[in-house]
Amino acid sequence: MCCGDDDCRPLGFLLGLPFAFLSLIISVVGIVVWIVGLVLTCICPCCLCVTVLVELALDLIKAPIHVIEWFTSQIPC
């Protein structure tokens, strides 16, 4: 029995935890790439490829949240 809420999917949350942990490790890599990219952007702001790297790093940092949201949306209550 569910709590009556559309977002109540504890099974999806529990199944997504190992994948969220792996994406958390990837997000740490994203943080490092983001910091290095910001430093390079400050040194040479005309470099477009560094800006793309910083945007990719931000997506990596948000990965654990996206993984948990995807898993909870896939499994019905």
Domain count, the chain: 1
User: By residue range, what is the domain housing residue 66?
Assistant: 23-74
Q: Cβ-count burial of 45 within 10 angstroms (0-12 exposed, 13-18 middle, 19+ buried)?
A: exposed
Does 16 reside within a domain?
A: no
**Residue 64 forms part of a structural domain:** yes
Does residue 39 lie within any of the structural domains?
Answer: yes
Give the pTM: 0.60
Residue 10 lies in a domain: no
pLDDT tens profile 4-50: 555 566 776 777 778 878 888 888 888 888 888 888 878 877 777 77
Helix 10-43 to helix 48-61 angle (10° resolution) is 160
60 pLDDT more than 60:
yes
pLDDT confidence of residue 5: 53
